[in-house]
Structure 1
Amino acid sequence: MDLNQWFQKGLTVDEYINAMTTNKEEMLTIYKQFTLTDEDKNKLEALRPQKLRAIVLSEDWCGDAMLNNPILLRIAEAAGMEVRFVLRDSNLELMDQYLTNGTSRAIPIFIFINEEGNEIGVWGPRAPEIQAFVMEKRAVLPDKDAEDFQAKQTELFKSLRATYQTDASIWETVATSILETLLK
C-alpha cells in the first residue's frame, strides 16, 4: 500500500479517541491544557495551502503517544492538517518501514504527507531532548537481572507519565521538535 492508502485506512481523530481504553483522559487533559504560541500558530497557518496530512502510528497504551499525540493534534488544527491514526500492533507492514534505529517499533511515529501522498517528513517517537531525559532516568535503573528491576522500572514509568501530564515545558519541547520537522 502507498501512503495515501494507509492514510485512508487510518482512524479519524474521533474514531481513535472513542476507541481508546487506556490513557484517554490523560491524553485529553494534555490536549485541553496545551496551547501553541501565536508565533507558532502563524508559522503553521502558512502551511495550510500545502494541505498536508499526518499518519500517526500509535497505540493508546503508549505513554509517549499520550504525550505527543495531543500536541500533534493542536499543531494539525493550526496547520489545517487532517490526521489519521494507524494502530501499530495490527499494521506491522507500515510500522516496519519506520523503525527507530532500524530495529525498534517505538511509537508514536508521525508520517507527514502532501496531497499526492509523498512523504515530506517523519517525526517520532520522542523529541531528542525528551529521549535524553528518559535515557538519563533509565540509566539509574538496576541491571535487568536484578530482582528489583521490574519494580524500579514500573516506578520510573509512573513517574514519567506524571511528568508528561503536568510539565508544560515538556509539551513545549515536543511542539518545537515537531515544528522543526514540519517547517523544514
Structure 2
Amino acid sequence: MRDLDFRALWDRALTYDEFVKQSTEHCGLWTGVYRLAHIPPWALERACEVGRTYRLLVLAEDWCGDASNTVPYVAKLGALGHCLEMRILRRDENPEVMDRYLSGAARAIPIVIVLGDAWREVGHWGSRPAELQAWVLEARKTTPKEELYPQIRRWYAKDKGESTLREILALLPKGSSVTTSIAPARPEQELSSLAPPPVADHHEGVA
C-alpha cells in the first residue's frame, strides 16, 4: 500500500467556504452552525501555544450530521487563531484516503488528519467525540437507529463542539496544559433530556 501524498491531497482539497458553497442542499445548515459556533478561550490559547501552523485535512460530506456538528467548530478555531489551516476532501470522491481511516469496516466521517512538518501525519481524529461514540456503541445494542439519532443531536447541542476541539487539540505537541477540566461522561438518561439542535438527520449509519 503506497503512502498518501498529503501535499497533493491538500492542494486539491476545498477550503471551508468552497465546501459550503458547493453544498447547496445543506448550505444553510453549515453556515448556521459556523455562525453560532463559540470557540472557548482555552481552545484558542491551546491552538496558538504550539508556536507554528498545523494543517488539518478533513474527510467529510455535507449530508453527514456528525460532520455538520463538528467540522464548523474546527474551521472557526482555525479562522480565529490563524494557527490551524483546514481544508476538506469529499469522502465519496476520495475512497483511497477514506480506506486508510476506517472505523472497523465502516467509512465513518468526519475524519480529521493532522499534518505537521514535511506533510507528515501527526495523528488523526474521528468520527465522533470519544464520549459520544462510547455511548452510541453501547446504546445501539438495544436501541433502534431512528431512536439514536435524536439523542446524538441533543448530545452535540449540549457539548457545543468542546469535546471535538479538545480531542483534536490533544494531538498537537503540548506547550502547556489546558486548564479547563474535562467534563464527566453524561449518563444515558441525561442524553435523552437535552434540547435538540437544528441539525440534519442525514447519516449513512451509526458507526
Paired with 2:27 and 2:128, the residues of 1 have a C-alpha distance of 19
Alpha carbons of structure 1 residues 8 and 71: separation in structure 2 relative to 1, 3 Å = same
- Structure 1, gaps ≥5 residues long: 142-151
Taking structure 1 as the reference length, the TM-score comes to 0.81
How far is 1:180 from its partner? 1.4
- Deviating 4+ runs (over 4 angstroms): none
Identity value in percent: 32
Question: 1:54, 1:113 within 8 Å by CA — same for their partners in 2?
Answer: yes
Within the alignment, does 1:182 sit opposite 2:184 as a pair? no
Alpha-carbon distance in structure 2 between the residues aligned to 1:14 and 1:100:
28
Which of 86, 96, 110 is the aligned partner of 1:83? 86
Does residue 6 of the first structure (1) align with residue 16 of the second (2)? no
SS of residue matched to 1:50: coil
Provide the C-alpha distance between the structure 1 equivalents of 2:151 and 2:41, rounded to a whole number of angstroms. Answer: 31
Match of 1:46 in 2: 49
Write out aligned runs for 1:1-184 (5 A): 2-47=5-50, 49-77=51-79, 78-101=81-104, 103-141=105-143, 152-161=144-153, 163-164=155-156, 166-167=157-158, 169-183=159-173
Q: 2:202 maps to which residue?
A: none
Scaled by the length of structure 2, the TM-score of the pair is 0.73
What's the CA shift for 1:118? 0.9
Higher share in helix: 1
1:149 is matched with: none
Deviation readout 1:73-116 (Å, 9 max, x if unpaired): 12322252221111111110111112123x22111101111242
Cα RMSD of the aligned pairs, angstroms, is: 2.1
- The number of equivalent residue pairs is 170
Whole-angstrom distance in 2 between the partners of 1:46 and 1:122: 20
Where does structure 2 lack aligned partners over 5 or more consecutive residues?
A: 175-207
